Amino acid sequence: MDTRRIGVKRRREYFRIQGFARTYDRVSGKFVFDVRYKTSVPLTDRTIAVAEAFGLGVDEEKEHIVLDNVELKIGPHDIVYVTGDSGSGKSVLLRALKKDLGDEAIDIGDVQVDVSKPLIETVGRTVEEGLELLSRVGLNDAFLFLRKYPELSDGQKYRYRLAKLVESGRQWWIMDEFCATLDRDTAKIIAFNLQKLARQQGKAVIAATTHTDLLEDLNPNMHVHKRFGKEIAVSYPSPKAESECSLVREMYVAEGKFENWRQLAHFHYRCHRVAAPRKIFCLWRKNGELCGVIVYTYSGPQCFGRKASGLTKYPMREINKRLSTISRVVVHPKYRTIGLGVKLVRETLGLVGTEFIEMPAVMAKYNPFAEKAGMTKVCEQRPSKEAQNIAEVLSSLSFNLQFLSSHSHVLSVLSKLETSEIVQIKGAFIKNQTPRFLKFFASHQPYGTVQGYRNKIKNLDPERLANLIKACSFLMQTKVYLLWRNSSA
């Protein structure tokens, strides 16, 4: 405590806890708190002058009551929203709760962050578990997986800390100053996502903030409003069983144009190029903001899951009439994890005009939004034999297979190879041609020709060869194949 001698022999305390008591009954989940303190003024020439000017008793102590035998009954699966002005005692309440709960609780402010490693290295015991955790909190952009914590925005940092709460396995999640520094749209999205995660995991949340605009999205079953002094109000709203983020009501789907895809293409983990678009739909916010885009294309001559779905019985001309492919689905990073991917797919499947719609995708393995929208998972595809054969050649020539999608890494290795080794790589692509590689060189025809492909491979410059190798890296991934049939067709 800060003390000072003012011409007297005794030391004077300026802040003194007069009473601090709490009890916690684990069986009933009942917490009782009593917190009060006294303050006094240091005696200086200026404080004495102010006291005399306003007729204050400078020697008198003033009592402040923060919690006056407050009783709260909080269960291990409750969502508790604590609001109140700054200085009203919210943090005092949370600290007392945290102390009572001990190791059963984790405070988001205490989450340990490794700032030196990419995110995917810091969550989950495996790559798959890490991707699932990050995707759950809205960090499901492939580029974000490889970023470090300091490179994230404030909203992304908060989402990352939520992933660490989930990973901790603790029963109680405590958050003081909840989303206090974030813009209100992001705060609402995180509040919605937090309660959804907690309810899925069977966890309890105690979140305190000065903001009162999160009641709908946090969807609590207890609301504690702390006023100044000892006044406190506790209510028990009925949480909605099937809730959606309040921002979703401001969104609508409408047919769009290719330029709309280009506006959000840089948020997609794949290349921006899209072959033979059939229909494009946009997800708009009523304020005119473009929040998402889905691109349907004409289907290629081959697709790994089509045989399992029974569609190979149709000739290609019939396929073009009856089948479309979901080629790209992108939601603006700000609006992820509130069901907009599901909304985009569900509300547009029946607007394309074909009997069948297929979707081969890598991200669908970690984020089953298409299944939630009504599509059926048919099968998974491991890396193709053609891609594996090419990968073996690349590996023998000092390429790191983990970095085949890195343009700079591939160009760096290519620049060090002999002419004969470059010819060897091109030969591997000619020998192991796939529709994906044919599509890479397509111009007027959506998927190119075999002879045209071979001729262009032989004349590739290092820049284009690096891009082709990147295309090969996509074939090294495990994909999910989904299908939807229009029952009214």
- Identify any residues that bridge with 484 across adjacent strands, giving them in sequence order: 357
Query: Of 335, 351, 374, which one is at a domain's C-terminal end?
Result: 374
Which pLDDT belongs to residue 256? 97
Which pLDDT belongs to residue 121? 92
Domain residue limits at 408: 385-475
Q: Report the C-alpha gap between 408 and 415 in whole angstroms.
A: 11
Q: Give residues with Cβ within 8 angstroms of 246, minimum separation 6.
A: 188, 192, 216, 217
Q: Which amino acid is at 222?
A: M
> Quick check: is 154 in a domain?
yes
- Claim to verify: residue 12 and residue 84 sit in the same structural domain: no
Query: Of 72, 87, 122, which one is at a domain's C-terminal end?
Result: 72
- Claim to verify: residue 279 and residue 369 sit in the same structural domain: yes
Please check the confidence at residue 443 and state whether its pLDDT lies above 70: no
> Quick check: is 480 in a domain?
no
Identify which of 87, 67, 335, 82 has the alpha carbon closest to the alpha carbon of residue 211. Answer: 82
**Rg of the chain (C-alpha set):** 30
> Quick check: is 380 in a domain?
no
Q: Out of 166-175, 214-223, 269-278, pick the least confident.
A: 269-278
- Claim to verify: residue 87 and residue 217 sit in the same structural domain: yes
How many domains are there within the chain?
4
Q: Report the C-alpha gap between 246 and 187 in whole angstroms.
A: 11
Higher pLDDT, residue 453 or 419: 419
Q: How confident is the model at residue 189 (pLDDT cuts 50, 70, 90)?
A: very high
Q: How confident is the model at residue 73 (pLDDT cuts 50, 70, 90)?
A: confident
Which pLDDT belongs to residue 342? 95
- Claim to verify: residue 260 and residue 273 sit in the same structural domain: yes
CATH number at residue 311: 3.40.630.30
Q: Report the C-alpha gap between 64 and 417 in whole angstroms.
A: 77
Query: Of 374, 409, 437, which one is at a domain's C-terminal end?
Result: 374
> Quick check: is 379 in a domain?
no
Which pLDDT belongs to residue 167? 95
Average pLDDT over residues 116-135: 90
Q: What are the pLDDT digits (tens) for 386-404?
A: 999 999 999 999 888 877 8
Q: Report the C-alpha gap between 238 and 365 in whole angstroms.
A: 35
- Claim to verify: residue 218 and residue 89 sit in the same structural domain: yes
Average pLDDT over residues 238-254: 91
Q: What are the pLDDT digits (tens) for 302-322?
A: 788 898 898 888 888 899 899
> Quick check: is 129 in a domain?
yes
Q: How confident is the model at residue 18 (pLDDT cuts 50, 70, 90)?
A: very low
Average pLDDT over residues 58-80: 77
- Claim to verify: residue 343 and residue 353 sit in the same structural domain: yes
Most confident region among 81-95, 115-129, 201-215 by mean pLDDT: 201-215
- Claim to verify: residue 117 and residue 34 sit in the same structural domain: no
Q: Out of 6-10, 21-25, 75-79, 97-101, pick the least confident.
A: 6-10
- Claim to verify: residue 90 and residue 231 sit in the same structural domain: yes
In angstroms, what CA-CA distances link 376 with 87, 298, 324, 371?
Answer: 53, 20, 15, 6
Q: What are the pLDDT digits (tens) for 137-169?
A: 888 777 788 889 999 999 999 999 999 999 999
Q: How confident is the model at residue 15 (pLDDT cuts 50, 70, 90)?
A: very low
Q: Report the C-alpha gap between 321 and 246 in whole angstroms.
A: 39
- Claim to verify: residue 15 and residue 66 sit in the same structural domain: yes
- Claim to verify: residue 93 and residue 125 sit in the same structural domain: yes
> Quick check: is 485 in a domain?
no
- Count Cβ neighbours within 10 Å for each residue of 156-186 and write b for 16 or more, e otherwise: bbbbbbbbbbbbeebbbbbbbbbbeebeebb
- Claim to verify: residue 154 and residue 211 sit in the same structural domain: yes
- Claim to verify: residue 354 and residue 263 sit in the same structural domain: yes
CATH number at residue 218: 3.40.50.300
Please check the confidence at residue 478 and state whether its pLDDT lies above 90: no
Q: How confident is the model at residue 473 (pLDDT cuts 50, 70, 90)?
A: confident
> Quick check: is 489 in a domain?
no
> Quick check: is 59 in a domain?
yes
Average pLDDT over residues 241-265: 93
